[in-house]
Amino acid sequence: MVKLMKSAWGDVFAVIAGILFSLSFSPFDFSFLVFFALAFLKFSLAELSVKRATLRGFLFGLGLFGLGVSWVFVSMVVNEQSGYLLPLLMTLLYCSFWALFPAISAFLYVKNRVNNDLDWFVFASVWMFVEYIRGKWVLGGFPWLQVAYSQLDTPLSGYVPVMGAYGTGLIIAIISALMAESLLKKQYSSRYFFAIITLVSIGVLLQTVQWTTISGKSLTVSLIQGNIAQKDKWAVENRNATLKQYYDDSAAHWQSDLIIWPETAIPAYFEDVKQDYLLPLEQEAVANNADIITSLPYKDKAGNLFNSVLVLGKNRAMYKKIHLLPFGEYLPWQPVSGYLLGLMNVRLGKFSSGEIDQPLLNVAGHYFVTSICYEDAFGEQSIRHVEQAKFLVNVTNDGWFDGSIEPYQHMQIARMRALEAGRYLLRVTNTGVSAIVSEKGKIVNQAPVMQRVTITSDIEPMSGMTPYSRMGDKPTILIISLILLYSFINRYFLKN
């Protein structure tokens, strides 16, 4: 078997394994495949040179991201004016760039692997180290298709409130590496099997722990999914119809304590609609003892443009998006990226980031943590000030990706934030997936995609702190750093 892995067939299987890795995430949800895919990768690197291992990792990444982020193509042709050839080439380039990270993982692992019983730990630590770098630092962070998200509906989700996405990912990578080790070192297979059973059993036990508690009376919330097509959303001639639609859908649910609209539901600057639309809407909400959370672009006196969330009600306040989306709200790699997107007739805003330490917004007497679109992919941002918050709110516009797998992946990522924080999540999108998620990360109520619909449910305000909310990613990063340091020292002394 090891000889087969050294041949060209091993490279073919690497692409297939990458595809299987991607199939473990929503909307496919074959959660078990992530273990076999990662185990294959470790097994196939057993006797490869550093150069060949790097290629093997890149091919694995091509399979993973070639399927997993194929939706980027949809976003580039949404306006139906850019043709298909250039978006296709850009998509291939985009997928190839992210495929470099599994290649880096393979390179680092083979370069620093140890010939003892801790080799499985080195592989798992290297994989998660590279996931962390990709998810936190590259282009501001791209934490898509990270292993932990595949296990939200398995016993391993019990680790999430304790260790977060990266810590849970480390457990998954360890289990996968132990599976590979059981084939490479069959004399120890019973030992590895026992370790795997132990890790899964701990996850089952952790699932039974209630980390946070109900705090106060339940709230009735209504999430309004407007289903405004992306190509029509910003057309000036459609503005009044859009504003009337959201008003009518809200007026039908004045009995709710809280009504939430999706990201940039209002296709106009704050000052342009303040007097004639927002203030009358707010007065009516207050008269009905309700609060509205809406979203719209905001331009300050200096001309800086912000993607914002606005609370209308007794405690009017605004949150300005902190973590901007690369190639969506700002353009890295200028002027090349701007030139290429211009060729495809893709017009993007030039937004500024809001202050990091903004106060929490308050509705219905409760503070909540706000995130806009892509911000829900970052765990440590979502737990900032969470001790004061009773629930989480995310507003999103995934209309750029209609008909693709991206909205389902994004919903899966958002669920992780609820489980990490031990808080209900109210997630409202323009075209889907809109849902109410419990503090256990389970979907309580979900709207059908690509439909104009409002969903209403009762939620429980929660208080208390999960271990992850208290410590963040620091313990996981410390463990990974110590193992990597050990492997570097081990390699140095072996060479000398």
The CA distance from 129 to 126, in Å, is 5
- The catalytically annotated residue of 42, 321, 390, 440 is 321
Q: Among 29, 25, 63, 28, which Cα is nearest to 44's?
A: 63
301 is catalytic: no
Beta strand pairing call for 305-312 and 291-299: antiparallel
Contact criterion met (CB below 8 Å) for 66 and 19: yes
Q: Residues near 384 by Cβ (< 8 Å), separated by ≥ 6? A: 369
- The catalytically annotated residue of 131, 263, 375, 406 is 263
Distances (CA, A) of 298 to 303, 314, 369, 474: 9, 20, 20, 35
Tell me the chain's radius of gyration from C-alpha atoms. 24
- The catalytically annotated residue of 95, 373, 390, 439 is 373
95 is catalytic: no
Contact criterion met (CB below 8 Å) for 332 and 303: no
373 is catalytic: yes
How many distinct helices (H) and strands (E) make up the chain? 18, 14
Q: Which residue has the tokens 């009762």?
A: 458
Q: Residues near 468 by Cβ (< 8 Å), separated by ≥ 6? A: 160, 161, 162, 163, 164, 167, 379, 383, 420, 421
Active site residues: 263, 321, 373
